[in-house]
């Protein structure tokens, strides 16, 4: 399956389980210094997250929500990893 | 010559014991598979956390963080001793305890500069018997232990380190290599070293059995990433403060799961041996029983015939 040019690979993992692993169009996250949204080809960065909800928009227009307590986001050129 | 009745009751009791141990074997087999699967599920997380760390390592001085920094001024060692609560698991706990004793001898530690955090009853008994201070003692840790519950323990350990009570923290647990092979391991947890984490991540995949095919390739490549220039938000220090305890937590959590898998497989093997032995004993006794019975019949027959002969 060809990767859609406007999607990126997103992984949301806690120690026990992987809560999300797949392509996403955008993800809105509660950062410690404010809410932000990641799109494809975001500049590489690392940030800490606070409690709140992660909203992931998928390719087919659907939404997925994940409640989190805290976490770390790592964004590299090809993928985004959220550790809870 | 033993009488028939006592032999018969012995055979029965051996058979009953065999049934029980057989059931325990089956239960342990299922639990072992579950524990193994869980241990494996931490792998993705550990790998990702390690990658984040290796990315950050390029841009900040990780060495300065209290969890990594080693302060030699205080010579305190803490051992997190992971054992099972119950016996009937072969030499599992004995092996870990022997390893700990060796370690204590090698580093010439005494109750003055050694403390324990005991997860599991057997380890606690060991520490108490030898007069060591126990900082924390957890028992009845379930197989389905959540990472959240482990955080308590990890927080305790990291707090010791951060508060300046700097000490070395080791973990003694059993590494699950395969169903028939578990090895006791002493591993340094704090001060945190990247090499240690790498070892843990690589050690997560068992050598043999159901999950062994997952080893190698993707693990090695995933662990070491190129250190691109990262933007840190809000700043590098707070990101590190978030990531490093998580890594320590993964290490502890993983050791727990690993011990669980080992415990169940050791118990399974021990119970299998017990079942086999019980079957052997029952078989041998049945043979004796038949011999004694036959002898009794022969004797009775000869008594009767000789009685008839005498009456003629």
Instruction: Identify which of B51, B56, B147 has the shortest CB distance to residue A14.
Output: B147
Residue B74 has pLDDT above 70, yes or no: no
C-beta neighbour count of B219 within 10 angstroms: 17
CB of B48 closer than 8 Å to CB of A13: yes
Chain B residues inside the 8 Å CB shell of A77: 228
Whole-number percent of chain B with pLDDT over 90: 21
CB of B104 closer than 8 Å to CB of B132: no
Residue B62 confidence (pLDDT): 63
Put simply, whether A47 touches B (Cβ < 8 Å) is yes
Distance CA B71, CA B220 (A): 31
Structural domains counted in chain A: 1
Distance CA B308, CA B225 (A): 99
Q: Does the residue B133 lie in any domain?
A: yes
Which of A31, A32, A46, A51 to probe by mutation at the B interface, max B CB count within 10 Å? A46
Residue B97 has pLDDT above 80, yes or no: yes
**Which pLDDT band, with edges at 50, 70 and 90, does B249 fall under?**
confident
Q: What average pLDDT does this structure show over B222-247?
A: 67
Q: Looking at the structure, tell me whether residues B243 and B191 fall in a common domain.
A: yes
CB of A82 closer than 8 Å to CB of A31: no
Residue B35 has pLDDT above 50, yes or no: yes
Residue B103 has pLDDT above 80, yes or no: yes
Residue B166 has pLDDT above 70, yes or no: no
Residue B260 confidence (pLDDT): 87
**Cis bond upstream, residue B296 (ω within 30):** no
Q: Does the residue A14 lie in any domain?
A: yes
Provide the whole-model pTM.
Answer: 0.76
Q: Which stretch, A23-32, A35-44, B296-305, has highest mean pLDDT?
A: B296-305
Q: Does the residue B312 lie in any domain?
A: no
CATH code for the domain of B201? 3.40.1380.10
Question: Residue A70: which domain range?
Answer: 8-83
Q: Does the residue A2 lie in any domain?
A: no
Chain A residues inside the 8 Å CB shell of B41: 16-18
Tokens of B305: 């015939």
Q: Looking at the structure, tell me whether residues B213 and B276 fall in a common domain.
A: no
Instruction: Identify which of B231, B238, B249 has the shortest CB distance to residue A43.
Output: B231
- Chain A and chain B share a number of CB contacts under 8 A equal to 79
Chain-wide mean pLDDT for chain A?
84
CB of A47 closer than 8 Å to CB of A20: no
Q: Does the residue B187 lie in any domain?
A: yes
Q: Which stretch, A74-78, B45-49, B297-301, has highest mean pLDDT?
A: B297-301
Q: Looking at the structure, tell me whether residues B159 and B169 fall in a common domain.
A: yes
**Which pLDDT band, with edges at 50, 70 and 90, does B223 fall under?**
very low
Q: Which stretch, B50-59, B65-74, B114-123, B154-163, has highest mean pLDDT?
A: B114-123
Secondary structure (3-state) at A77: coil
Distance CA B221, CA A2 (A): 23
Q: Looking at the structure, tell me whether residues B114 and B192 fall in a common domain.
A: yes
Instruction: Identify which of A32, A48, A83 has the shortest CB distance to residue B45.
Output: A83
Structural domains counted in chain B: 2
Residue A7 confidence (pLDDT): 85
* B233:A74 CB<8 A: no
Q: Does the residue A62 lie in any domain?
A: yes
The more confident residue out of B216 and B151 is: B151
HEC per residue, B112-176: CCEEEEEECHHHHHHHHHCCCEEEEEECCCCCCCCHHHHHHHHHHHHHHHHCCCCCEEEEEEEEE
Q: Does the residue B136 lie in any domain?
A: yes
Residue B71 confidence (pLDDT): 60
Q: Does the residue B137 lie in any domain?
A: yes
Distance from CA of B229 to the nearest CA of A (A): 7
Q: Looking at the structure, tell me whether residues B262 and B297 fall in a common domain.
A: no
Q: Which stretch, A27-36, B226-235, B240-249, has highest mean pLDDT?
A: A27-36
Q: Does the residue A35 lie in any domain?
A: yes
Distance CA A16, CA B42 (A): 6
Q: Does the residue B234 lie in any domain?
A: yes
Chain-wide mean pLDDT for chain B?
79
CATH code for the domain of A61? 2.60.15.10
Q: Looking at the structure, tell me whether residues B64 and B184 fall in a common domain.
A: yes
Q: Looking at the structure, tell me whether residues B19 and B37 fall in a common domain.
A: no
Model confidence pLDDT, tens digit, residues A38-62: 888 888 888 888 888 999 988 888 8
**Which pLDDT band, with edges at 50, 70 and 90, does B306 fall under?**
very high
**Which pLDDT band, with edges at 50, 70 and 90, does B93 fall under?**
confident
Residue that has been written with the tokens 């933007």 in this structure: B231
Tokens of A77: 């050129």
Q: Flag the least confident range among B91-100, B118-127, B192-201, B231-240.
A: B192-201
Q: Which residue of A has its CA nearest to B247?
A: A15
Residue B81: C-alpha distances to residues B57, B62, B121 (Å): 30, 28, 10
Q: Does the residue B19 lie in any domain?
A: yes
Cα-to-chain-centroid distance, residue B35: 11
Chain A residues inside the 8 Å CB shell of B225: 76
Tokens of B48: 């990702």
Question: Residue B185: which domain range?
Answer: 31-267
Whole-number percent of chain B with pLDDT over 70: 79
Residue B65 has pLDDT above 80, yes or no: no
Q: Does the residue B72 lie in any domain?
A: yes
Q: Looking at the structure, tell me whether residues B282 and B297 fall in a common domain.
A: yes
Q: Looking at the structure, tell me whether residues B196 and B263 fall in a common domain.
A: yes
Model confidence pLDDT, tens digit, residues B254-302: 888 888 888 888 899 999 999 999 999 999 999 999 999 999 999 999 9
Cα-to-chain-centroid distance, residue A27: 5
CB of B28 closer than 8 Å to CB of B268: yes
Q: Looking at the structure, tell me whether residues B102 and B217 fall in a common domain.
A: yes
Residue B301 confidence (pLDDT): 95
Q: Looking at the structure, tell me whether residues B110 and B87 fall in a common domain.
A: yes
Residue that has been written with the tokens 């932000």 in this structure: A36
The more confident residue out of B60 and B95 is: B95
């Amino acid at each position: 399956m060809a990767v859609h040019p406007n999607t990126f690979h997103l992984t949301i993992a806690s120690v026990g389980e992987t809560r999300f692993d797949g392509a996403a169009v955008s993800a809105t996250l509660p950062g410690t210094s404010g809410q932000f949204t990641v799109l494809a080809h975001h500049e590489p960065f690392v940030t800490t997250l606070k409690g709140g909800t992660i909203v992931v928009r998928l390719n087919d227009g659907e939404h997925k929500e994940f409640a989190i307590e805290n976490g770390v986001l790592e964004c590299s050129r090809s993928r985004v990893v959220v550790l809870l | 010559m033993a009488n028939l009745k006592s032999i018969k009751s012995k055979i029965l009791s051996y058979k009953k014991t065999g049934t029980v141990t057989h059931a325990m074997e089956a239960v342990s087999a299922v639990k072992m598979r579950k524990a193994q699967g869980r241990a494996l599920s931490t792998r993705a997380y550990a790998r990702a956390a390690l990658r984040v760390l290796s990315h950050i390592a390029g841009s900040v001085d990780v060495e300065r963080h209290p969890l990594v920094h080693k302060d030699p001024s205080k010579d305190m060692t803490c051992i997190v001793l992971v054992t099972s609560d119950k016996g009937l698991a072969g030499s599992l706990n004995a092996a870990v305890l022997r390893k700990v004793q060796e370690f204590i001898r090698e580093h010439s530690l005494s109750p003055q500069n050694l403390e324990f955090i005991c997860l599991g009853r057997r380890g606690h008994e060991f520490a108490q018997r030898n007069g060591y201070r126990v900082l924390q003692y957890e028992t009845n840790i379930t197989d389905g232990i959540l990472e959240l519950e482990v955080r308590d323990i990890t927080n305790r350990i990291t707090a010791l380190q951060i508060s300046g009570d700097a000490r070395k923290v080791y973990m003694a647990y059993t590494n699950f290599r395969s169903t028939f092979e578990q090895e006791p391991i002493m591993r340094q947890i704090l001060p945190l070293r990247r090499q240690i984490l790498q070892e843990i991540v690589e050690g997560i995949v068992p050598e043999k059995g159901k999950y062994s095919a997952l080893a190698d390739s993707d693990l090695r490549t995933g662990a070491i990433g190129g250190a691109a220039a990262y933007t840190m938000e809000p700043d590098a220090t707070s990101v590190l403060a978030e990531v490093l305890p998580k890594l320590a937590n993964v290490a502890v959590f993983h050791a727990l799961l690993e011990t669980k898998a080992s415990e169940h497989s050791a118990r399974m093997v021990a119970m299998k041996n017990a079942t086999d032995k019980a079957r052997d004993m029952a078989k041998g006794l049945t043979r004796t029983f038949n011999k004694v019975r036959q002898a009794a019949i022969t004797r009775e027959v000869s008594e009767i015939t000789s009685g008839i002969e005498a009456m003629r």
